[in-house]
Structure 1
């Protein structure tokens, strides 16, 4: 068995060697793969008794924990035993179950000297890492010259850094407390032309507040990105409550956006605030540090990204919910609801409410109409808010639940029942049992009772869920991820009230505009009956084929034309209103016939029902075509597509779509057909995930990005990484979307250029 055992033991090594040999051409040819010394960077600082090593690993790369080791190449200096920090679990095809490091980690290595202390230490570092795309680097051996501090400088110092502020004279000025510049010492180190490492050394017995650390500059040629801070230690503070703080030292990466590639001197203003454990807190402090930046590796990032991290609308609103005052949250989301009230997702509620008020007959007054509208809006708002809280808390996609085919069919049937009640069909001789049930439904939910209005408002919340907008996503994010039901629910309720406010105006005005009694009242009810039938068709359009929906609209238009008198002869001396009604009826009949003809010819657009007929000639007329997407069903499908795009240096766009999503249809018809949008996406890989079925694969793909529902569009850079902050939620006009795409793809190109140039 020994020969077989030996053969099994060297098998992974052979595989790894083969993979490295095969990867060598790829390393040479691929302009996007970083060199190992750029992918895995570190800074070494001597504290006098130990080496502090700060590692910074680029996104998409990782180091093996077991392959990391250090040694002293300087005689007279011996590294003492130390522990590497825990890594992340990783299943590797070459080494099996491993721990790896990503992003940032720190290593502290104590050492001792024999004899006279040298001024420098040659530190030998052995490591091995890989890229996520499947290419692994050979083992690396790097030697770093570390300047050692003198023992006099480190004697009695209060922090793990080489601090020049350690004399006892300074302590006497504040009694037992250090001056602020001795308690907290800032540093700035240049990593490369586009990155700084900012750090603070914190004296023993002192701490810095995480949320008080900031960086700024007055330079016109360089702008600062977001300060990338590690997690702090939780602390209950008597001044700031629950917060995070840093002890001993904190290291942060600061990305830079450069306007020009030339070397430049930069002054960075660092703001911070901290306290002593014994109770004294210092006022906020600002200190300026000057660094010399070398040649920039990412030229033009300032113009494309503005030097500021991109933040999506829904992320900005979610941050507002979590951090702003509750009054500001309510006011903001109420205003957002007012804007959403005039979208196709909310407008259909107007005929429903009008039908309820019309059902009150001659009892309608402005006060009565407002009361019915208020009851309707409260029913919609309470159910919408409650359903949103429950769905976000348990991780259910609210859209998919309320837009299931059986739910849509049930409520479409309800609107048909209500329409028949408006037409007075229940006066016909139908079986008594059916007549009783129908009359009961009609009287309870169509008539102008406050309870009936509340019930119909609750049912109408189904209509609002047809669309996802940034305010809705922000509210659900705060509830589902932060667990703050109170603030998230308050925002959701304010959003609902904003959407319902125009309905209150409709209710109050209906009492003045609607006739009080007589034949006109019957005509008004019948008109609202046709509106109810239109709502039923609109709801079914989310699940029916376009041709069938177009035919239903055609049938409704023909019926409306007949009702208006389009086929009725006008007698001598017909009044103007009868002539006007007949004219409208003829128009409705012609339009209905066009819709039916368009449905039979394969048309789908109610605004251009005969477009297909124009294309059957010599092909001169062409219907505006949309984008051609590559469909992805699973997370694995998406990852394969992104790898392919990354290998060819192509950015990508992922569109979450569903047949029952109203805004998705709007994007397909009005945004994706725009030439400017198509030109902006000409060089991008277009991916689309159809989540209509809402099955396990769909839910996994949605959860992969924390998406609450369609339409949501996500962008990816040329490296396959997600362009966070550029997500689009809800409908966006073509001009705005084209501009957004250019910004997202331009930022992706800059990122790729920056990585290549390192």
Structure 2
């Protein structure tokens, strides 16, 4: 970039000033030029508290310099950083890189009025040029504004004193020119049901929204109350608001409508909210009013906002069918890849029991107790959260990065134990991964617990309907379904333990078993790798770095624990210190914020949003909606065998259908609302919407190419 020559700049400005007043030839050339106040007509609006709105009407062939604007406050007024839009960027021969405005410009100037101030006095300086012959620049021009302050303007520092916050933060200087509020905080609203809305705030990078400074109302109605269900945000220590929660990039907020709508088809939604530019200014409280069309209760499919359908209800065939489906689903769950690594632990323990019927029965019973207890706890948690108005989906615990990291460390520790790095003794019999590696009752019980935890990312055939029933059934029936899932998962080991003919078919114990145990350690390591991959998608590279540090410290603790057997107390103290050190990176991992919510574009795939789905349905386009998650093993199996194949992509082209995908790897209330709408206990969920409107068709959780082809062919007719 060429440096500005101060002498040439001063000379040019002097010549520009002289050109308006001296020399007959120059006067003749300049006779067509407008007076500065007509070339740049400035108007001001001080009706809104704490912000002065400025507008310039710029005549044809004239422009203003963005960088030559200055604002000076009068007595009792403190100015913040002016909010100016981006201008046309180009390189000026004398001024270097500049931005200019043509035709018109709107600016916002935040301010704080001192106590007792009644007038808003501001000097506004600007400079512009005429860009066609005669090409001259006006000298800097200053206009002094003297306006009455609005009654609500205040310099208070309480919760309502946002003007003070605005001015003080603005004084620090923003990292970039603040955008106008309409561009910095875009708000949309759509009805997802007759009594439910979805509000979305979209913000450019570096802007954030306050959760606790947002109020929703329905003006013009009586007795209606809007009840937002805010998703988890980022905890933020604010200099003026204190401890608060904020949202970056984009946030979807499901909103319930409480009260009698009385057949209303249109609703006014008013949102009052405040946000800031990161490291820059805070905007005054903004108010937006949106008109939302509500679908009729009996024809909610017409909206298309959430697929527009009421979705399948819980099975009406009764509890007996749900129990049979749960039993079958639990049995098949033993063959799913997410459960097999844990079952390798039980395989070794059963082989070690040899031909002793008593030991085989003990293994089977304590393992079953761990499985049944875990399913009972999971069932109680789901019933309790449902009663409190919340939702917990199948496998939702893996949406928590800390849970994923701890499971990865457990799998890694179990693998080290099976590899022979450490042998846990009685002193560690009630803790951590040692429980899973022991052959006693505690190890069997914990292995059952671990099997249930890692089984939740999988959805076996028959499980979908059973879980859907459980999530909508009365408390006793729901718990019975979850316990029957546990019976199905534990049944193979119960049979081996209590049927002597099956137990006799097991190989006799021998030296080969140690080799088998070491071989079976590698599925544990692969499971830890898979969990790390899930964590990378949830929290990015920083979280993976912290997880690897925790794993190294864990390996050191286990290694030194084995070497220090029978040693001095000081050696055991080092084991304790290393174990405590393992927890430190996990603590920091729990506070790693999620990466940017901006979705990565994938060829042939449309990111799920209620608004986009509504647009496609209104246009008569068939849509295949795929709700998935990185931790969902069944989802990945379906993608590998069906959805990521050339046959599926050819089918989309042939039927004119759109493939829309929603990612539930992390907590996402928008997708949770869609799952709840279709009474789905979790992912995967596949819904095909026909081109002619009407209800969407829910497909089985385990897909085949034939099932998908038939559904899309019917939807495209």
Give the TM-score normalised by the residue count of structure 2.
Answer: 0.44
